[in-house]
Structure 1
Amino acid sequence: MTSKARKTLRRAIAAVAAAASLMSVGACSGPSAAASDGTVVSVFNGTTGTFNENFNPFSPTALGPTLGVIYETLYWYNLAADEAPTPMLATDYEWNDDGSELTITTREGVTWQDGEPFSAADVAFTFNLIHDTPALNTNGTACTAELVDENHVTLVFPTENADGTPYDEPFTGAYMQEGGILGGQAIVPEHIWKNIDDPMNYTNADPVGTGAFKLDRFTNQSYSFTAFDDYWNGRPKIDGVRYIALNDASAATSTLMAGQVDWMSAYIPSYEMLLENYPRISAVNTPRLTTVVMTCSNAEAGCEGPQTDPAVRQAIYYGMNRTQLNKLAGAGAGAMGSPTMLMPDRDASWITDPDLRYTPDGDDRETAERILDEAGWIMGDDGYRYKDGVKLSMTIQTVAGWSDYILINDTLKQQLKPIGIEIVSTQMAWNQWNDNEQKGNYQLSLDSLGLGVTADPYYTYNPRYSSEQMAKVGETSGGQNYARYSNPKVDAAIKAAAGTVDEEERKEQYAIVQREIADDVPYIPIYINSMLTEFNTDKVTGWPTEDDMYALPAAWKAWDMGIILQHLEPKQ
């Protein structure tokens, strides 16, 4: 790049930053952390519009720092590295011989943020609450808890039906629930939650966890935490953290350049030039999420629209040009995805059919048109297809301000028109977009999937594809099967995989799942999106780096955000 070009860029960025310092004050105004005379880290975790106050760790719409900053789990799994899980509220665990009981040893010397002692009784209460309140069971946990003593609890899994009759298939162990139990479940204090009448809809405005930071103040534009002095792993070295909402992605970039946000995960075109001109900003890229067209796929569950026809979903799968989408919306930084919804490189050993390892890169219009023809979708005079008088037209939703996703929607509309599919794009605030997915009030939605509790495909397939994780349209989904997908073959294979510790046997079951979802495509993969995270290094040190990926750095990542905040230290 020439000296003249660098100067032009500096002038442009400086002008944007000057404007940002004005616009972002209005965009993220609100009280700062009480520790304003100390070191307070500001975080933008992707929320545009306003915050809805919800710190319920069981709720699918809880605010991001609920999991990891306020509440903690028994162990923490670092998906950015291949390593053993880190003990958190537990220090040991052991299965019995047949996999029907899991005994957990809890950590001593832990205090809840209101000063009450933590014990194994809180763990027992949490899992019994989940058992007694099915709506809370987002991980598919099937166990009851028996308190052994102050530091030991045993989780007991059913080996027969509730009426005492044998299962249709012999019980083979509950081993695959280990990751969700140890690394995916927030533990709550019994002395508070035993008095909550409706734990699913409780917004928990005054949360009490075991995490390193306590909630201080909340507004719909920002909320803040202060360091918990009696945290079991030692008081954090920073004094507080503040989460802000912004208007859109442009405001996020501008606010970062103006020095008013210290941590965010947002796509920035030509971010290398930004780093060159702002030495205090660093960035890491950790691709882990598959960008998808999510479909409300199941007519029997109440979904309405052409996308309930598998042929339409297949036509979209083959009709899109992923290379063009990656180039235009992802600056070419995205990686090829897989119809198995796994990551082709990291998870290659789990993908048994080589034909399913990668999605097509360019479009296959001939295949898409053939599929629609055979399914009875006939091209009309207006250039769009019809079947039984219904136009092949669907609305796709995304979040206002997510510029890369908006560009995907606009490009997808152009790509699918020649094969007779009309795509109508709509934008909305994150809260509405999320609520629509939760309740199934959408036809198509642009989103991203991935990052199970561990890398085992069970933690991708069970939450997203199991019928047990599905709710009918209009009902809030306690699980993550927002596509309302239901397939008995998939359900049986997931159940069989959950009952064995033999990796080869699990691969055989996952192969069944992969064949079915590649045909049904309730989530239509586009590409594995770049996951760029930016840091301000002027205020604190200790951010993750390419050489030290001690946690997944995304500013929205549950559990990891608590780990990262504990690593940060004021810059000397």
Structure 2
Amino acid sequence: MTRRGVLAGALAGTAALALVGCQPSSGGAGSGGGKTTLTVAGQSDNLTQVFNPFLPNSAQALTYSSPGQSGFIYEPLVQINTVNIGHDLPWLAKAWRWSDGNKTLTLDLASGVKWSDGTPFSADDVVFTYTMLKSHPGMNLLGADFATVSAPTPQQVVFTFAVPSQQYFTNIVSCPIVSKHLWSKVKDPTTYPDKNPVGTGPFTLSTFSPQSFLLVRNEDYWQTKAQIHALRFVAYKDNVSMTNALVQGQADWGGTFIANAEKTFVSRSKHNHYWAPIAGTDGLIPNLERWPLSDLAVRKAINLGVDRKQVAAASNDVPATSITGLPMPAYTANIAPQYKGLNLEQDTAKAEQILKDAGYAKAGDGYYAKGGKRVEFSITFPSAYTEIAARCQVLVSQLKDIGIKLNIDTTTVTEINTLTAKGDFDSTMGYPVNSAPRAFSYYNDTINPNLYYPIGKATPTYQNIERFQNAEAAALFKEYPKATTDAQRQQILNGIEKIFVENLPWIPMFYWGSYSDWSTAKATGFPSPDDPYFSPIPNPVVALRLKPA
């Protein structure tokens, strides 16, 4: 599971993986016979032959761009569209409908689907997968919650819920589906490596090494099969090495941040393209149970003291504007009336005054202190995420200007989510989940107090990692599912936005994009600003639309 805001990978910022290869395949573009192999650059510091889709740090996780945009091997019921919002794609489920006051979800499955070993796919596989996730909550990375799941017919699945749950649709339908005939024989699915995965997806595993693995086209795929022959996934240690591979033409497709992309990458070849469609908001994520960020006055001072244009410019992102934290302009219709047009602004004088009014005094070293303790904290992130490092270096300087000391604390890609899930951090940047493209889901992932876990106990779905607690907010999150009209839902959202604005459970800094880089030298058909049909980061929806050049 990667961190949103730095996805090039799993659950939206720098995707943990990309299709890339060290050498073009022997059947490269122009060789005929549909043998085009694309190389994609991805990021991992621990590539092992683990394709269990429910384990966050695995080779399989590298093939997942984000929830609902997955399925090179294991496919979801629906592909969630995070670019053309609301235009989700039927996949293993061809149709769906809610009933019983949004407490029952019925899905009609696609016909003719087969597992890559030739076994027919059916509703029993879906029921088995979700029952397994319910029995092993630690595997339920998307937090899909339901009361029962059943298969009235081989082509139909029915979920029931204790409360109205339409707002969780994207989480529910995005889980990768595994086969009952194979996984039912697994003794412990929480540790099962699944070295030779059998899925329903458009690609199958061919070869694996500690440096890369090759997925080849599923010749018996149930939908129209891919026109490209193979994808080679190569794991790079950081953004710099990934960028170098792309710039040098060793990689054809990636999902990585590139500094000054127009000059560094795009201008190098007429085939090179870079696009980062806005996918969400990110910023400084505090641990609300550690001082000084537990003090609202300190968070307010930071909120006023930073220049978001400089922070965003450090990583070619867009500065956040709305004080509600919602990405703009996509969520304009969801902004509460009192907050429309109210934007985040820098005011360093007011920031320092807030600290003084709260009893802080500036010491001789230039930093504010209270009770003998300096206002000082660290920010933890993977050293491999160079775009986060660039932003944080800007923050170090800006916070020093208002008398707050920020220290850089780097870790590994493998360890970051473990640390933040357990609350073992002062602050971080980049949430480890990708909020679904819905306003409620955005807040639910980040500040729902009902998802609170005490320090030391890991949040199983990586939500509310800052440990926000607020009784009024908890009640609103429980009330939202009961709303029956759009007006009622918006009224509840208005209340949640008010709590966010007044309590600053985390501090919005910039709008992050799904960083995407590709070359059309070997294949065409990628999404673009002119044809934004889906997210351009490595995913099977795009792979199935690519055509050999």
Partner of 1:487: 470
Within the candidate set 513, 517, 522, 1:534 is matched to: 517
The Cα shift of 1:315 comes to 2.0
Q: Is the 8 A contact 1:120 1:147 kept in 2?
A: yes
Query: Which deviates more from structure 2 when the two are superposed, residues 341-350 or residues 265-274?
Result: 265-274
Within the candidate set 254, 257, 263, 2:244 is matched to: 254
1:348 counterpart = 2:343: no
Give, in whole Å, the separation in 2 of the partners of 1:527 and 1:82: 20
Which amino acid letter does the alignment assign opposite residue 254 of structure 2? M
1:41 counterpart = 2:19: no
Give SS of 2:63's match: helix
Give, in whole Å, the separation in 2 of the partners of 1:174 and 1:50: 37
Give SS of 2:293's match: helix
Give SS of 2:282's match: strand
Query: Which deviates more from structure 2 when the two are superposed, residues 29-38 or residues 476-485?
Result: 29-38
1:309 counterpart = 2:295: yes
Q: Is the 8 A contact 2:104 2:159 kept in 1?
A: yes
Q: Is the 8 A contact 1:33 1:216 kept in 2?
A: no
1:564 counterpart = 2:537: no
Give, in whole Å, the separation in 2 of the partners of 1:413 and 1:516: 28
Partner of 1:456: 438
Partner of 1:13: none
Give SS of 1:115's match: coil
Q: Is the 8 A contact 2:433 2:462 kept in 1?
A: no
Which amino acid letter does the alignment assign opposite residue 544 of structure 2? Q
Q: Is the 8 A contact 1:286 1:531 kept in 2?
A: yes
Which amino acid letter does the alignment assign opposite residue 90 of structure 2? P
1:152 counterpart = 2:156: yes
Which amino acid letter does the alignment assign opposite residue 393 of structure 1? E
1:424 counterpart = 2:407: yes
1:388 to 1:456, Cα distance in 2 relative to 1, 3 A: same
TM-score normalised over the length of structure 2: 0.86
The C-alpha deviation readout for 1:311-338, integer Å capped at 9, x for no partner, is 32222211111122234x045x514343
Query: Which deviates more from structure 2 when the two are superposed, residues 280-289 or residues 315-324?
Result: 280-289
Structure with the bigger percentage of helix: 1
1:531 to 1:177, Cα distance in 2 relative to 1, 3 A: closer
1:498 to 1:291, Cα distance in 2 relative to 1, 3 A: same
Give, in whole Å, the separation in 1 of the partners of 2:257 and 2:306: 22
Give, in whole Å, the separation in 2 of the partners of 1:83 and 1:460: 15
Give, in whole Å, the separation in 1 of the partners of 2:284 and 2:399: 13
The Cα shift of 1:486 comes to 2.9
The C-alpha deviation readout for 1:481-518, integer Å capped at 9, x for no partner, is 22232323222212222223411111111111111122
Give SS of 1:567's match: coil
Partner of 2:81: 78
Which amino acid letter does the alignment assign opposite residue 296 of structure 1? N
Give SS of 2:189's match: coil
Q: Is the 8 A contact 2:37 2:228 kept in 1?
A: yes
Give, in whole Å, the separation in 1 of the partners of 2:234 and 2:56: 20
Partner of 1:118: 121
Q: Is the 8 A contact 1:334 1:528 kept in 2?
A: yes
1:129 counterpart = 2:136: no
Give, in whole Å, the separation in 1 of the partners of 2:226 and 2:300: 50
Give SS of 2:102's match: coil
Alignment of 1:14-93 (within 5 A): 38-45=35-42, 47=43, 49-62=45-58, 63-66=61-64, 67-93=70-96
Q: Is the 8 A contact 1:65 1:562 kept in 2?
A: no
Q: CA RMSD in A?
A: 2.7
1:296 counterpart = 2:287: yes
Give, in whole Å, the separation in 2 of the partners of 1:376 and 1:335: 31
Q: Is the 8 A contact 1:32 1:242 kept in 2?
A: no
Give, in whole Å, the separation in 1 of the partners of 2:224 and 2:97: 27
The Cα shift of 1:150 comes to 0.9
Q: Is the 8 A contact 1:32 1:224 kept in 2?
A: no
1:65 to 1:501, Cα distance in 2 relative to 1, 3 A: farther
The Cα shift of 1:31 comes to 9.4
Query: Which deviates more from structure 2 when the two are superposed, residues 264-273 or residues 86-95?
Result: 264-273
Give SS of 1:188's match: coil
Q: Is the 8 A contact 1:344 1:357 kept in 2?
A: no
Give, in whole Å, the separation in 1 of the partners of 2:74 and 2:363: 55
1:228 counterpart = 2:218: yes
Q: Is the 8 A contact 1:335 1:530 kept in 2?
A: no
Which amino acid letter does the alignment assign opposite residue 104 of structure 1? L
Give, in whole Å, the separation in 1 of the partners of 2:51 and 2:457: 20
The C-alpha deviation readout for 1:416-440, integer Å capped at 9, x for no partner, is 1132211011333322333323333
Q: Structure 1 unaligned segments of length 5 or more: list them.
A: 1-27, 159-170, 556-560
The C-alpha deviation readout for 1:436-485, integer Å capped at 9, x for no partner, is 233332211122688533x3212212222224444443444321322232
The Cα shift of 1:211 comes to 1.1
1:267 to 1:157, Cα distance in 2 relative to 1, 3 A: closer
Q: Structure 2 unaligned segments of length 5 or more: list them.
A: 1-19, 65-69
Give SS of 1:245's match: strand
Partner of 1:242: 232
Larger Rg: 1
Alignment of 1:371-382 (within 5 A): 371-382=354-365
Query: Which deviates more from structure 2 when the two are superposed, residues 185-194 or residues 55-64?
Result: 55-64
1:407 counterpart = 2:385: no
Partner of 2:202: 212
The C-alpha deviation readout for 1:62-84, integer Å capped at 9, x for no partner, is 52315321221112222211453
Give, in whole Å, the separation in 1 of the partners of 2:527 and 2:520: 11
Give SS of 2:150's match: strand
Partner of 2:172: 181
Partner of 2:494: 511
Give SS of 2:236's match: coil
Give SS of 2:101's match: coil
1:177 to 1:448, Cα distance in 2 relative to 1, 3 A: closer
Give, in whole Å, the separation in 1 of the partners of 2:22 and 2:544: 24
The Cα shift of 1:532 comes to 4.1
Give, in whole Å, the separation in 1 of the partners of 2:503 and 2:44: 33
Give, in whole Å, the separation in 2 of the partners of 1:468 and 1:202: 31
Give SS of 2:544's match: helix
Partner of 2:427: 444
The C-alpha deviation readout for 1:17-62, integer Å capped at 9, x for no partner, is xxxxxxxxxxx887988988832211123x1534355433333445
Give, in whole Å, the separation in 1 of the partners of 2:198 and 2:239: 32
